[in-house]
């Protein structure tokens, strides 16, 4: 028998994760961005990462169309960015500080890391798709991470 939905969510909420905003562009050149906690390293050689994206989101079809995306790892002061990119705002990029990376995909300013990826593999993951990306370029900065745990944002206290 399958696990109850609430019980499943509650169990997953006990796993602390970082937060990323994944940015991309669709075939018409429209920018898309989505808050993603389901991010993981996969391989060092070649350099692969994965993200899990819900099939009904705008970003899902945009990643499939462009085959390129950027994983922006948020710092402890960027919870507002996380909220914005988890929302249904029509233009999430208004007043956001970014530069353009590969194929003009937004690379968010001040993030702890920006990983510019080319889509390498797509696997079915139920109501999500697992996108495996090969990292072509990475930028890193010092700072503290934004952490998500038990339904809330946290910061790491030394």
Ligand X SMILES: Cc1cc2nc3c(=O)[nH]c(=O)nc-3n(C[C@H](O)[C@H](O)[C@H](O)COP(=O)(O)O)c2cc1C
Q: How many chain residues interact with ligand X (CB under 6 A)?
A: 20
Instruction: Give yes or no for residue 135 binding ligand X (CB under 6 A).
Output: no
CA distance 81 to 87: 10
Residue the block writes with tokens 């994983």: 71
- Cβ neighbours of 125 (radius 10 Å): 15
CA distance 12 to 6: 10
CB of 67 to ligand X, least distance (A): 16
Q: Choose, by CB under 6 A, the member of 48, 52, 119, 139 that binds ligand X.
A: 52
Cβ proximity to ligand X: between 46 and 151 the closer is: 151
Per-residue x/- marks for ligand X, 88-127, CB under 6 A?
Answer: x---------------------------------------
CB of 75 to ligand X, least distance (A): 15
E-only strand ranges, 55-145: 68-73, 98-100, 106-108, 113-125, 128-140
CB of 58 to ligand X, least distance (A): 4
CA distance 67 to 83: 25
Query: CB of 68 within 8 A of CB of 119?
Result: yes
Instruction: Give yes or no for residue 54 binding ligand X (CB under 6 A).
Output: yes
- Residues in touch with ligand X (CB under 6 A): 19, 32, 34-38, 52-54, 57-59, 82, 85-88, 128, 148
């Amino acid at each position: 028998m399958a696990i109850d939905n609430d019980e499943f969510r509650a169990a997953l909420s006990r796993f602390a994760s970082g937060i990323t905003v994944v940015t991309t562009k669709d075939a018409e050149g429209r920018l898309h961005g989505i808050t993603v906690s389901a991010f993981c390293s996969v391989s060092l050689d070649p350099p692969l990462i994965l993200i899990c994206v819900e099939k009904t989101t705008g970003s899902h079809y945009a990643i499939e169309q462009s085959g390129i995306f950027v994983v922006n790892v948020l710092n402890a002061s960027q919870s507002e960015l996380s909220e914005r990119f988890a929302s249904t705002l029509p233009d999430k990029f208004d007043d956001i500080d970014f530069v353009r990376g590969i194929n003009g995909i937004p690379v968010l300013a001040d993030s702890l890391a920006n990983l510019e990826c080319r889509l390498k593999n797509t696997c079915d993951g139920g109501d999500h798709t697992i996108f495996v990306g090969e990292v072509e370029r990475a930028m890193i900065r010092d700072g503290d991470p934004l952490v998500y745990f038990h339904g809330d944002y946290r910061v790491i206290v030394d």
